[in-house]
A and B are shown apart, each in its own frame.
Chain A
Amino acid sequence: MSKKQYIETFSTLNPSEESIERIMSMTDKKRISRLNKTLIIIAVVISLLCSVGLVANAATGGAVAESVSEVVEKVSKKMTVLVNGKEEKVTVSEKIDPKDEKYYPADEKCYAAVIEVKSPDTDTKYEVLYEDAAGSEDKKYYPADEKNYAAKLESKTSDTDKESEARYEETADSDDAKNYTTEAVYNAQDIDKDMESSLDVALKGSTTKTE
């Protein structure tokens, strides 16, 4: 008997095939176990989110659902706005919220405008003709609303270095959507340090539907 014989003798002994297969199948079980864990975690997270949303919605009397639907309804819309006869593409977000402030680049003379559109509840495109009461020849076209349109304009002209604030309001009869005239009040404030004055100028605005 020697070491060689010892090795030969014990080399004939093997574990059963079943035990080896059982050990090999451990990897499959672990893989399935990981997949199950992942699925369970995802399901728990989704159910938690749903339950939190339901509780929050119930606690706020449905306000959460309304705000969610409002966000869903918020559509980003591309419109073409004519500024001094030049077409400019702007994005108009329509919201149920009556206040919707838009900032548009205007003419070449560094004209900046803040337009507040109220109740834009239709998809209809409108062009609003705005005539500057100060006698400027600039004619600006802004998107408006079928029923009510109010615009607050803040303008600054670079050539005069004077700031003026304009408020433009118009109301229209919804039954007369195609052609209607509005009365607008234009308040211009000259913020020149030496001479400060305010002007109330009535201007006429007209809107034409360009569906």
Chain B
Amino acid sequence: VECESEELPDIAEETKVVLLPVNPYLVHVYWGIAANDLEEIGRVSGQPGRRAQPVLRFYDITQVDFGGTSASSWFDVEINLRAGSWYVHLQSPAKSYCIDLGLRTEGGGFHRLARSNAAETPRAWPSDKVEESYLLVEEDYQRVETVVPPMKPTHAAETLPEPRWVGELYRREEIRPQPQKPRISARFETVVPPVQPAEVAETLPGPPSASEQHHGKENPERKELRFLRTAAPGEMERKLAELYQRRMRERLGFAPKAGGTDDPQPSRKERADLTELSERSFRAGLSSGRKSS
């Protein structure tokens, strides 16, 4: 028969450490140590003349593919092993970490007991990275297309062609069989290097390199026109090329904050930064008391 006061079982079956972000500047770490590892800890720290400090070693893996050695930096947080969990304040938001629970021995040695999951801390402000690519997603994911418009900021910002029209353009082309399972996304095309339509072959660059994507820097050539999409028959290419040439002619503005404007009085549309507006209003709301309950 069930006993309501029965305590939950002690849970350290294996030595493990888990990292949970709380907010941009705070993470929670909990760990458990299996019995045989406790003996090991006793052995490491019990040697005469040696002191072993339990630590959480934080590896900053924000920009790297972490293999255990390539972290861009690391730091230790000294802990009391018996505590079982710890809160750690961090200086910078939007970082990815992986941590080792271990013993730091005198002389700089490190004895690892467990490695955590990788986890990311949240962003604390909007991104500076301005890059527009668009995704067309039709009902039930029957078609998903990536579209990267020109980056060049312009001032005669006119209305974009109706997105619906772009949809029509795609829909008219019955080039692929329908997915087998219409409800579950049956297909998702990944972006591949562009198939170059003849008309705009000169201005179509290749895909950005990984490093460019990482740092958000644009190759100046690429700024002229970037247009990536999946391979499709020639007729489709021609129509898309026409669409983009028309857009170029209309000198459409895409990037609200892109630099390089030569007009001292940018248009209303360029000055409007709706992300900043939304963000400010959100912050104001945080301080004015939200949920009434």
Chain A partners chain B: no
